């Protein structure tokens, strides 16, 4: 089956490519409004993702000056390729990598990633004006697993082939957190694959005001959301780009996961996901909903909150119960779906814990105050 990029920058709106450094490098940081919205500076006082490897199976990654120090060789899996993932004809993979781990080019100059000390494992699986297929994405995940990735960021949707399912399961079993884009409207109508695969963190998007981004698909599989509109990052030939889509949000969440893994290196995949969802800021209807999932990611809370451990882990649970100090209680969803099923799996495990179950259920609270909106927009 063929898979298509889940990104508005290539499907819904033309990608805006900005001038090369240093012409735009002086103001790109201010243009990255999501950094202020997510309080990235505060998170970086705790960790910058050192020691974490994030795999990016996409169009490859160009060695942009703001990114090259964190760029591994990777690989390519296209016919006639050179065996090196440090190449990109379309700019999309370079943009995703920059959102995750760009280190900038000086004090407040150049693009900055969510985890600027993490390393990028670039995988070129498709080139400009061509789609890859499920086997290509599966090969990319297999390579990521065998090359010690800690996180895999999948900014695309794909057909659900048996090989791809096995590759995702193998990555999760190898303790790799897999993050994937939910998909973009109007091309996508439902949450795509592999975002809907059990154990994968499915990412939707919000706009500058923290509201549901029109481009983002909705569905019961959504786990968390992150900024997805007018997102500035690195591009090819030393330039910069502005994109809109759930792939941008996915790269941001992958950076957040890198920070969590650096801060809490002993947490399992399920516990990392649990910490991310438990500290997310509730939006929309109270509790998990189809637009926002468990809420907007909160980097600082994810790195500092006292989050009770999971009562019982299940390899099929892609998002655990939400536990965070707040005022509004979130109960299970009605009508089934990812959030409800995961809640039921977790609460079933509580039955064996006696008094501890009551304690953990009492802690199922949600925070209703969102991350501070940026004081200025770039």
Give residue-wise pLDDT tens across range 80-97. 778 899 999 999 999 999
Q: Which of 34, 44, 64, 92 is catalytic?
A: 92
Q: Which of 90, 91, 247, 318 is catalytic?
A: 247
- Does residue 360 surpass a pLDDT of 50? no
Contact 62, 236 (CB under 8 A): yes
pLDDT at 25 (0 to 100): 81
92 among known catalytic residues: yes
Look at 344 and 267; give whichever has higher pLDDT. Answer: 267
Q: How many CB atoms lie within 10 A of CB 83?
A: 10
- Give me the mean pLDDT over the 252-273 stretch: 98
What is the band of 12 on the pLDDT scale with cuts at 50, 70, 90? Answer: very low
pLDDT at 103 (0 to 100): 98
Q: Supply the mean pLDDT for the chain.
A: 81
- Give me the mean pLDDT over the 67-75 stretch: 97
What is the band of 16 on the pLDDT scale with cuts at 50, 70, 90? Answer: low
Alpha-carbon 30 to chain mean position: 22
- Does residue 117 surpass a pLDDT of 90? yes
Contact 151, 258 (CB under 8 A): yes
- Does residue 204 surpass a pLDDT of 60? yes
Cα(121)–Cα(57) distance, rounded to whole angstroms? 8
In terms of average pLDDT, the best of 190-204, 299-313, 349-363 is 190-204
pLDDT at 19 (0 to 100): 54
247 among known catalytic residues: yes
Look at 312 and 66; give whichever has higher pLDDT. Answer: 66
pTM of the predicted model, to two decimals? 0.81
- Does residue 3 surpass a pLDDT of 50? no
pLDDT at 335 (0 to 100): 30
Which letter, b or e, does each residue of 62-73 get, where b requires 16 or more Cβ atoms within 10 Å of its Cβ?
Answer: bbbbbbeebbbe
Q: Which of 31, 44, 55, 58 is catalytic?
A: 58
Cα(365)–Cα(282) distance, rounded to whole angstroms? 10
Cα(357)–Cα(183) distance, rounded to whole angstroms? 36
- Percentage of residues of the chain with pLDDT beyond 70: 75
316 among known catalytic residues: no
pLDDT at 18 (0 to 100): 58
Neighbouring residues of 106: CB distance < 8 A, sequence distance ≥ 6: none
Residue whose C-alpha is closest to residue 157's, from 106, 200, 117: 200
pLDDT at 42 (0 to 100): 98
Neighbouring residues of 141: CB distance < 8 A, sequence distance ≥ 6: 57, 152, 164, 167, 168, 170, 171, 178
What is the band of 375 on the pLDDT scale with cuts at 50, 70, 90? Answer: very low
At which residue do the structure tokens 């909106």 appear?
Answer: 373
* Structure token pair of residue 142: 């297999």
What is the band of 128 on the pLDDT scale with cuts at 50, 70, 90? Answer: low
pLDDT at 81 (0 to 100): 73
Contact 144, 104 (CB under 8 A): no
């Amino acid at each position: 089956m063929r898979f298509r990029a889940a990104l508005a920058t290539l499907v819904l709106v033309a990608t805006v490519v900005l001038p090369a450094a240093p012409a735009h490098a002086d103001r790109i940081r201010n243009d990255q409004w999501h950094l202020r919205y997510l309080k990235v500076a505060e998170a970086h006082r705790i960790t910058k993702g050192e020691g974490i490897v994030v795999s990016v199976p996409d169009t490859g990654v160009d060695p942009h000056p703001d990114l090259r120090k964190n760029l591994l060789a990777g690989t390519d899996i296209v016919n006639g390729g050179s065996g090196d993932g440090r190449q990109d004809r379309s700019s999309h993979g370079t943009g995703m990598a920059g959102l995750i781990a760009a280190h900038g080019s000086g004090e407040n100059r150049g693009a900055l990633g969510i985890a600027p000390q993490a390393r990028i494992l670039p995988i070129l699986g498709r080139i400009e004006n061509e789609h890859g297929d499920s086997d290509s994405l599966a090969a990319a995940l297999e390579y990521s697993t065998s090359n010690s990735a800690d996180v895999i960021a999948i900014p695309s949707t794909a057909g659900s082939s048996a090989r791809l399912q096995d590759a995702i399961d193998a990555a999760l079993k190898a303790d790799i957190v897999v993050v994937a884009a939910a998909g973009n409207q109007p091309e996508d109508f439902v949450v795509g694959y592999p975002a809907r695969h059990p154990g994968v963190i499915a990412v939707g998007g919000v706009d500058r005001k923290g509201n549901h981004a029109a481009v983002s698909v909705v569905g019961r599989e959504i786990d968390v959301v992150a900024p997805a509109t007018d997102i500035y990052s690195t591009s090819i030939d030393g330039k910069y780009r502005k994109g809109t889509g759930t792939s941008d949000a996915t790269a941001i969440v992958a950076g957040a996961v890198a920070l969590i893994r650096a801060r809490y290196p002993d947490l399992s995949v399920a516990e990392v996901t649990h910490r991310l969802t438990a500290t997310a800021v509730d939006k929309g209807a109270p509790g998990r909903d189809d637009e926002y999932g468990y809420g907007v990611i909160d980097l600082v809370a994810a790195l500092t909150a006292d989050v009770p451990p999971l009562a019982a882990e299940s390899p099929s649970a892609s998002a655990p119960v939400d536990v965070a100090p707040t005022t509004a209680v979130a109960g299970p969803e009605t009508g089934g779906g990812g959030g409800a099923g995961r809640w039921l799996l977790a609460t079933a495990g509580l039955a064996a814990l006696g008094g501890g179950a009551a304690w953990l259920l009492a802690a199922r609270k949600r925070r209703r105050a969102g991350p501070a909106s940026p004081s200025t927009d770039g």
